[in-house]
Amino acid sequence: MIWSGILIYWANQVYGIRIFGYELFKFFPPWFYEYLGIPFRLAEGLQLHFFFMWFFAVNGVIYIIYTIISGEWRALVPIPASFKRAPLVALHDAHIVKKLPPQGKYNDAQRIAYTSIILMGAGSVVTGLAIYKPMQLSWLTSLLGGYEWARWEHFYLMIGYVLFFVVHIVQVALAGWANFRSMITGYDAVDAAVSVDKPPIAATEEAAA
């Protein structure tokens, strides 16, 4: 979606970071487009974008239904204490404090991040629809502040995904190979000898309850 979006954006590049009228950074500098071979591919970008948006939206809906039916949402959605503990998780990850706050399958920073990314996905669908059909869905476009605002929101959500992706990849790399393997397979390989002394997290949570 990001790639096809950039193919579209090239045709009308309006965003940048400006201070007192002085442009510090333009999304994106000319070399970026040239290096990736982006120019003059607007039609291709639109086709790809409107094809893959169906997979993006349907996949998101299936994921949400699955988390509800399986009860996984309980481990993913932040609880009130998450907002107090998440900064401590960040301080722990930055090696500023030693003690990690108590956690279940996911820590509080993960709960907030993973729920936010789902809300951002919904935001992309909603803002995307508002700029895709601004006439037919004029009520939605107005609700989002009008066409210009909806386009802006759609674009900056994409920047949000890129930032999330970078932090996520760094965290996954730091968490190590075993964690990555369990992210892909959905299973955690546990050394039988160790597991006798240290029960799995689910069992610890049950015991605590």
**Residues in contact with ligand HEM by the rule CB under 6 A:** 1-2, 5-6, 8-9, 12, 49, 53, 56-57, 124-125, 128-129, 131-132, 151, 154-155, 158, 161
The least distance separating ligand HEM from the CB of residue 20, rounded to whole angstroms, comes to 25
Q: What share of the chain is helix, strand, coil (3-state, %, to 5)?
A: 70, 5, 25
* Cβ closest to ligand HEM, residue 58 vs residue 201: 58
* Cβ closest to ligand HEM, residue 2 vs residue 43: 2
* Cβ closest to ligand HEM, residue 14 vs residue 178: 14
* Cβ closest to ligand HEM, residue 162 vs residue 178: 162
The least distance separating ligand HEM from the CB of residue 54, rounded to whole angstroms, comes to 8
- In order of 12, 72, 124, 151, 157, the CA distances from 134 in angstroms are 17, 36, 15, 11, 19
* Cβ closest to ligand HEM, residue 53 vs residue 91: 53
Here the tokens at position 15 are: 């965003």
The least distance separating ligand HEM from the CB of residue 41, rounded to whole angstroms, comes to 12
* CB burial of residue 123 (10 Å; 0-12, 13-18, 19+): middle
Q: Which one-letter DSSP state was computed for residue 101?
A: P
What are φ and ψ of residue 59, in 5° steps?
-60, -40
Q: Which one-letter DSSP state was computed for residue 124?
A: H
The least distance separating ligand HEM from the CB of residue 209, rounded to whole angstroms, comes to 38
| Backbone torsion region of residue 176, taken as left when φ is above 0, otherwise alpha when ψ lies between -120 and 50, otherwise beta | left
The least distance separating ligand HEM from the CB of residue 170, rounded to whole angstroms, comes to 20
